[in-house]
Structure 1
Amino acid sequence: MPRLSCRSADPFRGSFAVARGDVTWERLRRHEFRKLRPDTYVGSATPDDLWLRVRGLAVWAGPEAVVAGPVAALAWEAECPWDDDEVVLPTSRHPGPGAPRVRRDVLAPGEVTRRWGTPITTPARTAFDLAGRAPLPDAVAAVDALAHAWRFGPDDLAALVDAHPGVRGLVQVRRVIGLMDARAESLPESRLRVGLALRGVPSPVPQYPVRLPNGRGVRLDLAWPCPGAGLRPVALEYDGPEHRTIRGHGLDLDRDAGLDDLGWDVVRVTARQMHDLDALAARVLRKLGL
């Protein structure tokens, strides 16, 4: 078996490699290798990316472990409000010291797949796990992101609820299922939608398509296209960092002018306004005549 070197891209357990004669403890302590976790190493030339994070976590946790939680969501290329590492083990065995969260659970075969050669919870099972986290708006945002990326819906999560009736936090998971919407395209959009819903605002249509008078097609973050007789349709647009550039601001002005010509009442929401959703909800309710 070839000896390990700085170009060894796949993480490995140091104690196993030393026992096989692939490397010595003295070499592992040099700059030739990088320590990822206790007894888990990789060649120093390996880029520090998400692939390495997932593979290193799996090697540290052992062959029975399944990568789960926020790091699984990130591996599935979905935004996530959290960024911690988590693994699932079928027994109470703990792999040893280290920061990752270790959760004991028995996963059904259909809830585990492989990514980058590593056992990982499926997108739907990942969403099911994250749906039980607090706070509620973040849980919905995480589920929305996975559902949007992987095209599953409330029925898929409801089936997991039925399959795991004894799991803690099912009351919140059911709430998340009732609030999720795979049409959402960003975490702030989901948080905003949920925050308003918790304050009595009727459910909007995420990413509502509109054709402007100049022929340009746009999608509104949150829209109430039919608020009632005599009222203008209402749209909420979340202004992230890209809207604060000169180009972004100019595009927003053109967009808002076109929407105004079509009769839309556009409300732009910034991160600062997200801290006072009571006032924003009251404003939207007034515009909807409620």
Structure 2
Amino acid sequence: MGIDACTSRPFRGSEAVARGEVSWGRLAGPAFRPLLTDVYVGSSAEVDTATWVRAVALWGRGAGVVAGPLAARAWEAECPWEERELIMPTSRRETSDEIDVRRDRLLPDEVCFRYGVAVTSPARTAFDLARRGPLVEAVAAVDAVAFRCGLTSAHLLAVAAAHPGARGSVQVRRVVALMDPRAESLMETRLRLVFILRGVPAPVPQYEVRVRDGGLRWLDLAWPRVPAGRRKLGLEYDGPEHRTITGQNRDLLRDADLDDQEWEILHIGAVQVFDERRADQLAARVMRRLNPDP
């Protein structure tokens, strides 16, 4: 049976041509989309995470294990990086501008299967991401995997203990000290670290507040313990969904409910996270609210 534009699984072009399923001329036409060297998919197929995981494994001819950012996405976790990484079991290193190929030691329990393909386990994936820089992005990536997969610092430390002397191990210990599996987004972690790395007491992620009507509201970050006479402090990161009319109305009603419970809510935008000067100002502003009057 031939291959057509509806083919949703990646395939090796050279193998399909050798089997007589397609010609090189058709592969070069509009019916197919090249993903990697000699790896194709039908042009009408949805190219999602599963497609990329299978394509990278196919590119490695099944000899490698999908790792790094793509492994994180295979576990349905956000990741700040986009690289496609493959760990090979031998010293033979194929060079490629498309795939980051590296040799590393993987223990049996550090390899799992997703979409029928070998990928690094959640704990091993977190360990690999924790060794990347910069530190804030490494913590954000680890938090995302931890949230999706139920990891704790103990899981990460166990992998680190099994690989003493691995490159980046010093940063892994810093990441472990800063990680929090309760974080629900990369931006939530980045915002949390704005405060922690500037000496502000650590906020509580996803803090639950019961309001007057008995319902529950969740705060991205919260400081429920404040000096006597101060209102409790909560922070909300306002992404694009908060700027719609529906989002603005929802926020107004929620903030009113929280105001009744003696909460002060600060709404934070991306500029206050990524701009160092404004992040300093934000941290100082929160610290003033948390410090007792002199």
Partner of 2:145: 146
SS of residue in 1 equivalent to 2:87: strand
Question: Deviations for 1:72-103, whole angstroms, at most 9, x for unmatched residues?
Answer: 11121111111221111122323453422112
Match of 1:16 in 2: 15
SS in 1 for 2:188: helix
CA distance in 2 between counterparts of 1:150 and 1:44 reads 33
- 2:47 is equivalent to residue 52 of structure 1: no
Runs of 5+ unmatched residues, structure 1: none
Paired position in structure 2 for 1:198: 197
Q: TM-score, structure 1 length as denominator?
A: 0.92
**1:222 — aligned with what?**
221
**CA apart distance, 1:135:** 1.6
Moved more, 96-105 or 64-73: 96-105
Q: Which residue of 2 aligns with 1:94?
A: 93
Query: More deviation in 278-287 or 245-254?
Result: 245-254
Offset at 1:224? 1.1
SS of 1:58's partner is helix
Q: Which residue of 1 aligns with 2:284?
A: 282
Matched-pair contact (CA < 8 Å) for 1:140–1:176: yes
Q: 1:213 to 1:59 in 2, by over 3 A?
A: same
Query: Which secondary structure state, in structure 2, belongs to the residue aligned with residue 102 of structure 1?
Result: strand
**Equivalent residue number for residue 113 of structure 1:** 112
Residue identity in the other structure for 1:215: G
The percent identity for this pair of structures is 54
Q: Which moved more, 1:264-273 or 1:38-47?
A: 38-47
Q: Which residue of 1 aligns with 2:131?
A: 132
Computed over aligned residues only, the root mean square deviation of the Cα atoms, in angstroms, reads 1.8
Residue 46 to residue 239, structure 1, CA distance change in 2 (3 Å): closer
Aligned to 2:35: 36
Change in Cα spacing, 1:144 to 1:194, as seen in structure 2 (3 Å) is same
Partner SS state of residue 258, structure 1: helix
Give a deviation string over 1:12-65, Cα, whole Å, max 9, x none.
Answer: 223333344444433433334332211222333432222221111111122111
Cα separation, 1, equivalents of 2:226 and 2:2: 69
Q: Distance in 1 between matches of 2:25 and 2:245?
A: 55
* SS of match in other structure, 1:165: coil
| Cα displacement string for residues 198-247 of structure 1 (whole angstroms, at most 9, x for unaligned residues) | 00011111111101123331011111111233333211111111111122
Contact 2:93 2:102 in 1 (8 A): no
In structure 1, how many angstroms separate the alpha carbons of the residues matched to 2:79 and 2:96?
A: 25
Q: What residue in structure 2 maps to residue 272 of structure 1? A: 271
Kindly provide the amino acid, as one letter, of the partner of residue 201 in structure 2. Answer: P
CA shift at 1:178, angstroms? 0.8
Shift of residue 111, structure 1, vs aligned partner: 0.8
What is aligned with 1:186?
185
- Residues 91 and 173 (structure 1 numbering): CA distance in 2 closer, same or farther, change over 3 Å? same
Name the count of aligned residue pairs.
289
Structure 2 runs not aligned, ≥5 long: none
Q: What does 1:54-73 correspond to in 2, within 5 Å?
A: 54-73=53-72
